Amino acid sequence: MEKLYGRDLMIDGCNCAQAVLVSLCHDIGLSEDMAMKLSCPLGGGCRAGEICGTVTGALLALGFVTGNTDRHDKDAREEAYKKYIEFDRRFKEKYGSLVCREILGCDTSTPEGKEHMKNHPELKLRCHERVDGAIALVKEMLAEEKSK
């Protein structure tokens, strides 16, 4: 895959979740192929206008780094949950919502929403801004974690 980053990955064909997770591969030690596959169903608010794909892509990255590996280690899981909640809080504080259809003002899982998106290409800029913002936020949080 050509080395693109953030919004450029979206422009080149990735969905929002893929653009975020692929952009973070080097930082978290995940292959680009795996990132593409894992995040494929998550773009467009899980294809349903729900939680923004930039958020789900970012949470996958954070989970890959901070998630628990022992299913019985509830303390480790709770610590990881705190990081995900903190990401959500910061993202929502910056962008106002975690929900795709609220961010775009249309539900791209419907024919009407898809048509609206097609007729208003400036809405893609909201997606691009959030892709780059989510990547920056994850990098910031990972740096904070390393500095502890």
Burial of 42 (0-12, 13-18, 19+ CB in 10 A): buried
The domain spans of the chain are 7-146
For 2-21, what is the mean pLDDT? Answer: 92
DSSP H or E stretch at residue 82: helix 74-95
Give per-residue pLDDT as tens, 78-118: 999 999 999 999 999 999 999 999 999 999 999 999 999 99
Q: What is the DSSP letter of 47?
A: I
Residues near 140 by Cβ (< 8 Å), separated by ≥ 6? none
For 44-67, what is the mean pLDDT? Answer: 94
Burial of 93 (0-12, 13-18, 19+ CB in 10 A): exposed
Give per-residue pLDDT as tens, 121-134: 999 999 999 999 99
The pLDDT, as a whole number, for residue 2 is: 57
The pLDDT, as a whole number, for residue 131 is: 97
For 28-35, what is the mean pLDDT? Answer: 96
